[in-house]
Amino acid sequence: RRQVEMLDALGDPVAATTLAEIDRMARRAASAPEIDMGGMLGMVLKLTKPAGGGGRWDTVIQADVANATLIPEQFPLPIRVRDMAVVIDEDVVTVTRASAVPINALSGTIEGTIDVSGPKSRPELSFRADRLRTGELLRYAIGPAGRDPARLVASQVLADLGLYGDTDAVGRLTADEAGETEFAVEMGLDRIGLLTDSLPGRPPLVLSDATGVLNVTHDGLRLDTDALYTGLSGDEGIDSPATVQVALDLDWSDQDRDLITTAAIGAQGVPVSAPIEQVVTVFSPEAANGIMAMRDAFDPTGTGDAEVRINADGSGASTTTAELMGLRDISVAQFGGRIEFDRPEG
């Protein structure tokens, strides 16, 4: 709520509506459980046997799920299922196309099969969700409690980046050659936002109109997005929005290592006063401290192109590189006044 109130103060056109929705959900949470597990279904058991003696009975079960709430084990996002037909024969479970809506989405469907002929079931299920909210429930599904600690760290990274808005998602639940369950979820980002304020007492970094894709699999997470930086109220020198790219790769496939992180933040025509350290600190607090120390010492103004790269190999070691190029109208505070640089190069 604090982040949305900040956006409202900055004049975000949808913040007031979002605050009203937060209040509505809070009242609902106080009056009833948010997730009501279980549901109702009807079942028909069909037994057939060839005429004459010696044949074997074939069994087919049809279950009609009128209304239920389920939580998938691999990606625990609560889903409300309605009017789903499940046909179970001796080798395959078939799920016909049905309404399956995550409780933080507007609509959704699920369909596919599950092969139960071997020692391990082998799902081939596909699903879709429309207007899936990028909030706490989605982050929990990415990093559920009691699972791989690296997934918990990845979930916290998304929380610190402050991704907000709705997305459309498609996904699959499958099995590898050894029968181990795998999942893949792709979320298309369209005009969502990022509000990053991990550093108390510093201006937040607010990015808007972000487009791109967020992919989550059993092995890791990949975020690629382009967004706009328009500054905060009172900022000077922003004639047009600056373009910012965020590319993030989080790998938790190696159970014996910590989260492997590769991140790149790029910006073109961004004011050097933009608090890019708010994003950098999510991955490297030491690098963010260095940026803040230089900002406090020199109070720079002007614009330029920036690129920051962070790599952590999962062993506890990390490297950060930063470049500022294409500098324009640069000045710094020094010797009791300001020094201006005419046509800086390098």
Separation of alpha carbons 142 and 217, rounded Å: 9
The yes-or-no verdict on residue 233 having pLDDT over 60 is no
> Which token pair is 96?
């016909």
> Which token pair is 127?
């699903």
31-36: long-range contacts at Cβ-Cβ below 8 A with a sequence spacing of 24 or more? 34/103, 35/69, 35/71, 35/78, 35/103, 36/69
Q: How many CB atoms lie within 10 A of CB 3?
A: 17
Say what the pTM is: 0.80
Per the model's pLDDT, the better-predicted residue between 305 and 240 turns out to be 305
Q: What percent of the chain has pLDDT over 70?
A: 86
Separation of alpha carbons 34 and 69, rounded Å: 11
Q: Summarize the confidence of residues 271-294 as an average pLDDT.
A: 89
Mean pLDDT computed over every residue of the chain: 84
| N residues, the chain | 346
The pLDDT tens digits of the residues spanning 36-60 come to: 556 777 888 887 877 766 677 788 8
pLDDT band at 28 (very low <50, low <70, confident <90, very high): very low
> Which token pair is 259?
């989260």
Distances (CA, A) of 59 to 118, 155, 180: 17, 44, 27
E-strand stretches of the chain: 38-48, 58-70, 79-88, 92-102, 107-115, 122-133, 163-164, 166-175, 181-196, 205-217, 220-229, 242-251, 260-271, 301-312, 318-334, 337-341
Nearest-CA neighbor of 160 among 4, 271, 283?
283
Q: Tell me, what's the pLDDT at 7?
A: 64
Would you say 111 and 84 are in contact if contact means Cβ atoms under 8 Å apart?
no
What is the torsional sign of CA 138, 276, 285, 296?
Answer: negative
Q: 175: buried, middle or exposed (CB in 10 Å: 19+, 13-18, 0-12)?
A: middle
Provide the residue type at 9 as one letter: A
Separation of alpha carbons 158 and 66, rounded Å: 35
Q: Summarize the confidence of residues 221-247 as an average pLDDT.
A: 80
